């Protein structure tokens, strides 16, 4: 075994499945980020964030009401953690969309990739997880890949990158809090309450910065909110199946969908050094996946 503390109700076999679910879910976020960047070209950041929360909350509420036990899932055993996650999500949403309005999707994601390192560090005091040398090594190598992409000190990043740094920190804390809810609240509950808290905050802010919507505003917001709902649910579910320190390197998978959507919509392509950094990031993630598959096979063989 790897020495990490397993989530309640999980087994070693859950590792590879959680990794796959987490990777796919995280890969959806850059798609919604690209849509958000498009919207900020014509609308204020506060309005984009508010509309995003509006649709996101509506989708989650409808999904819960349609399920047999949906109404019971509106109840949470840890409202304090849910509210705190909602505040973290709101801060991250505003700072992230603000950064997107100034710099490219890939550049913002590169900064956001500091989140896994922060997440691994926080998982030790907050979750009591034991992080072995293999995972530390993979995360550190992945972080070096992020540095290659960013090239700090060379004037690559716009000053708005500092907002993305705040988003990275809040994202890490939010996911750590999500892990603490894995044994108490249903994943849908853990998606609903942060969305509700974020919507309340956004509704208080948006009247101060509003522009009458026109054109494709609401269709784009609808797609953005739907993608966000699916992605958040997948991340919460994955974190209830496996330790945060195991999944954290797979945040890096976002770079592929970020690069693809950035190219298709804005014509942005990673340069040579960014490509090298991405390769390093992918190598670290694949190593963790290979190791978890190996541990899974060993556990199955011992049954």
In Å, how far from its chain's centre is CA 19? 13
Asked, for residue 128, whether it belongs to a domain, the answer is yes
Specify the pLDDT at position 207: 93
**pTM for the full predicted model:** 0.75
Contact 295, 2 (CB under 8 A): yes
Q: How far apart are CA 35 and CA 37, in angstroms?
A: 5
Q: What is the mean pLDDT of each run of 10 residues along the chain (303 residues)?
A: 38 72 87 89 92 87 76 81 91 90 80 74 74 78 77 62 84 81 76 90 93 87 83 80 73 77 80 79 74 69 59
Specify the pLDDT at position 233: 78
Asked, for residue 244, whether it belongs to a domain, the answer is yes
Helix axes 45-66, 217-241, angle to 10 degrees: 60
- 3-state helix, strand, coil split of the chain in percent (to 5) is 75, 0, 25
Instruction: Look up the domain containing 138 and give its range.
Output: 14-301
Helix or strand (DSSP H, E) at 51: helix 45-66
Q: How far apart are CA 254 and CA 28, in angstroms?
A: 8
In Å, how far from its chain's centre is CA 289? 19
To which residue do tokens 């199955």 refer? 300
Asked, for residue 46, whether it belongs to a domain, the answer is yes
Helix or strand (DSSP H, E) at 90: helix 79-100
As given in the structure block, the two tokens for residue 216 are 């494709």
Specify the pLDDT at position 6: 39
Asked, for residue 3, whether it belongs to a domain, the answer is no
Q: How far apart are CA 134 and CA 139, in angstroms?
A: 9
Cα distances (Å, whole numbers) of residue 84 to 31, 78, 87, 88: 26, 10, 5, 6
Specify the pLDDT at position 44: 93
Specify the pLDDT at position 152: 63
Provide the number of structural domains found in the chain. 1
């Amino acid at each position: 075994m790897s020495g990490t503390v397993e989530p309640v109700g999980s087994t070693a076999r859950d590792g590879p499945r959680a990794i796959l679910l987490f990777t796919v879910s995280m890969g959806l976020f850059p798609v919604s980020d690209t849509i958000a960047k498009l919207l900020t070209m014509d609308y204020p950041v506060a309005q984009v964030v508010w509309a995003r929360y509006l649709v996101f909350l509506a989708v989650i509420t409808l999904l819960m009401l349609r399920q047999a036990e949906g109404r019971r899932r509106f109840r949470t055993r840890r409202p304090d953690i849910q509210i705190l996650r909602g505040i973290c999500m709101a801060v991250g949403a505003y700072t992230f969309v603000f950064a997107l309005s100034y710099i490219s999707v890939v550049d913002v994601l590169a900064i956001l990739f500091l989140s896994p390192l922060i997440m691994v560090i926080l998982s030790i005091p907050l979750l009591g997880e034991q992080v072995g040398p293999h995972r530390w090594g993979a995360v550190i190598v992945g972080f070096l890949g992020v540095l290659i992409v960013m090239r700090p000190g060379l004037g690559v990043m716009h000053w708005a990158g500092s907002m993305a740094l705040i988003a990275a920190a809040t994202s890490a804390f939010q996911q750590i809090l999500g892990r603490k809810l894995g044994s108490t609240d249903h994943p849908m509950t853990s998606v609903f309450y942060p969305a509700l808290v974020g919507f309340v905050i956004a509704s208080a802010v948006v009247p101060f910065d509003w522009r009458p919507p026109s054109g494709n505003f609401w269709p784009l917001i609808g797609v953005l909110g739907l993608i966000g709902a699916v992605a958040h649910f997948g991340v919460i579910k994955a974190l209830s199946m496996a330790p945060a320190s195991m999944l954290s390197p797979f945040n890096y998978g976002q770079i592929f969908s970020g690069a693809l959507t950035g190219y298709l919509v804005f014509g942005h392509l990673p340069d040579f050094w960014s490509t090298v950094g991405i390769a390093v990031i992918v190598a670290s993630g694949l190593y963790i996946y290979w190791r978890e598959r190996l541990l899974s096979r060993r556990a199955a063989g011992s049954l």
